[in-house]
Chain A
Amino acid sequence: MTSISPEAPLLEVEGLRVSFATQRGLVEAVRGVSFAMGREKLGIVGESGSGKSTIGRALMRLVPSPGVVTGQKLKVGGKDVLSANERDLQGLRGGKIAMIMQDPKFSLNPVMRIGTQIEEAIRMHRRVTRKAARAHAMEALLAVRISNPERVYHCFPHELSGGMGQRAMIAMMLSTQPDVLIADEPTSALDVTVQAQVLAILDDLVSRRGMGLIMISHDLELVASFCDRVLVMYAGRIVETLEASALSRAVHPYTRGLIACLPRLSEASSRLQTMQRDPAWSQV
């Protein structure tokens, strides 16, 4: 699969910076990131702490205080996110853009049953009866391979396994039918079989409905085989952009180092290779 050239890009990001003032100085989480995205699957990989989730939150305008977001351009479907007021933002988050957070159980409401939460999300975006919303919610749970949706519908978040929480979150976000979906480690708690099935659903939304998908993941093999393009992040910046299928031919030493650190099922080794990080990688 080749990437669709973004004619009217779903996302335009130019010079994005995010920083947090802390008692011990300024933390620059994102330090000048630019990219555009069309109706494609864009992977973001990179160092832990390099700013991947923060980019997602900035696109949703959900960077918590005291975070400061600046940039030349931050547009979702042509709409400027940086200057948007609270009402515009609600519209954006409603239909244009949605995010599956990295800590699903933390982002679900802990005192509300799973089914009720999915129904609320559906009813916020579509005018349907309570009964129809319930049917949609059940369908959504089945689609993400919850084998016993009746039970899970009535569960509270703490009663779900890690992977079930992730799937509940995915079901909820999909029922809002966004144009752009940011999925932050959406399948890290899923067994590989269920993971493949959930990825197939996302794949369909991109190819059939023309959704744009940002897939943040540490799973290099998954990103290489699932996404169209990949951004590689290090210390708050994009250090390399690649066709996903060309990930194994990456040239940046950080990306190459990552690939070398992978444990492989096909070969046993007593120690895993680690990385020598070069301070030059984080310089502008």
Chain B
Amino acid sequence: MNEAIEVSDLEVTFGHGTKSFKAVQGVSFTVPFGQSFGLVGESGSGKSTILRALSVLVRPSGGRLQVAGGPLPLHPPKTFRRRVQLVFQDPYASLHPRHSIDRILREPLEVHGFDRREERILQSLDEVGLPRRYRYRYPHQLSGGQRQRVAIARALVLEPEILLLDEPTSALDVSIQAEILNLLSDLREARQLTYLLVSHNLAVVAHMCDRVAIMSQGKIVEVTDSRHLRTGTFTHPYSQQLWASSQGYFRDPAVLDVG
């Protein structure tokens, strides 16, 4: 009961028959309440698909998912939607293009019957460092990083218990990133939140997460803790390679021939 997220032998298959593709191939991990778990690894290895399965946006083809202490409902009730929030990797696609930022933040508050909406909207804008006047803009009138902050604000405004964060700071300059990561850390401490964080930035994951799974080709190759992630102590060669590449851009002649 003290696991916020329990993923057992998860499989996700897209398409049918000979055209089918198994994006997630038997993935298992658990995240206790109040902890922060990182998913890193290869582009296309199934990280976002796992988050989508946990938000009931794709249906698994196998395995078991438990979220917030119970099996994942097929048709989640409103309360589930509030307690578990996903911040999408692709903020543009997840924000309604014809809704103002004000409406994007207000509607979920209305749906879930929150009081003091005005105050909450302003507070959430402040928290993600967006000037209050931006609430009257539309998504296309914002920069990439400003849109990403709207997506984070929309998730936080519902005061969820479990946050699924897909590359939440990849479009932000490092000073805004630092503010958002500090905010997430503070919230986790104050409200015992649980985070599942996907990022390609190993330093961000090491800073935010207690434990980390390294993924490649639909599978977890290794689970480790942030201490080992920092020192680059791994058992699997893929993890080692990933860590080595994170040390900045060095021209590797071996890479050249294939390009």
A residues touching B (Cβ–Cβ < 8 Å)? Answer: 20, 22-24, 27, 45-49, 52-53, 64, 102-103, 105-106, 143, 147, 151, 159-164, 167, 184-185, 188-197, 199-201, 203-204, 218, 220-222, 224-226, 257-258, 261-266, 268-269, 271-275
Contacts and interface: CB of A to CB of B under 8 A. Distances in A.
23 contacts: A47-B173, A48-B145, A48-B146, A49-B145, A53-B144, A151-B21, A160-B44, A164-B43, A189-B43, A189-B200, A195-B245, A201-B259, A218-B145, A258-B173, A261-B175, A262-B203, A263-B177, A263-B203, A265-B229, A268-B206, A268-B230, A272-B182, A273-B178
B245 A218 contact: no
Contacts of A163: 43-44, 200
Contacts of A160: 44
A274 B44 contact: no
A203 B251 contact: yes
Given A196-B250, A200-B252, A257-B175, 9 more contacts: A22-B141, A164-B44, A185-B171, A188-B167, A189-B170, A192-B202, A194-B42, A273-B178, A274-B178
The 9 A-B pairs at the shortest CB distance, nearest first, are namely: A163-B43, A48-B145, A272-B178, A192-B245, A225-B249, A261-B178, A225-B248, A275-B175, A265-B203
B144 A103 contact: yes
B173 to A, nearest CB: 5
Given A193-B241, A263-B181, A265-B230, A103 B92 contact: yes
Given A159-B14, A261-B175, A261-B178, A266 B230 contact: yes
Nearest to B14: A159
Interface of B: 14, 21, 40-44, 47-48, 89-90, 92-93, 133, 136-137, 140-146, 149, 166-167, 170-179, 181-182, 185, 200-204, 206-207, 226, 229-230, 241-242, 245-246, 248-252, 255-256, 258-259
B204 A263 contact: yes
B202 to A, nearest CB: 6
A257 B175 CA distance: 8
Given A189-B89, A191-B40, A274-B182, A48 B171 contact: yes
Given A191-B41, A192-B242, A64 B174 contact: no
Nearest to A107: B92
Nearest to A48: B145
Contacts of B170: 185, 188-189, 218
Nearest to B148: A48
Nearest to A254: B175
Nearest to A204: B259
Contacts of A46: 173
B27 to A, nearest CB: 15
Interface core residue of A24, A203, A263 (most chain B CB under 10 Å)? A263
Nearest to A143: B259
B175 to A, nearest CB: 4
Contacts of A191: 40-43, 200, 242, 245
Nearest to A272: B178
B184 to A, nearest CB: 11
Contacts of A47: 173, 175-176
A272 B179 CA distance: 8
Given A102-B144, A103-B144, A151-B21, A265 B175 contact: no
Contacts of B133: 24
A105 B94 CA distance: 12
Contact of B90 (A162, A199, A266, A273): A162
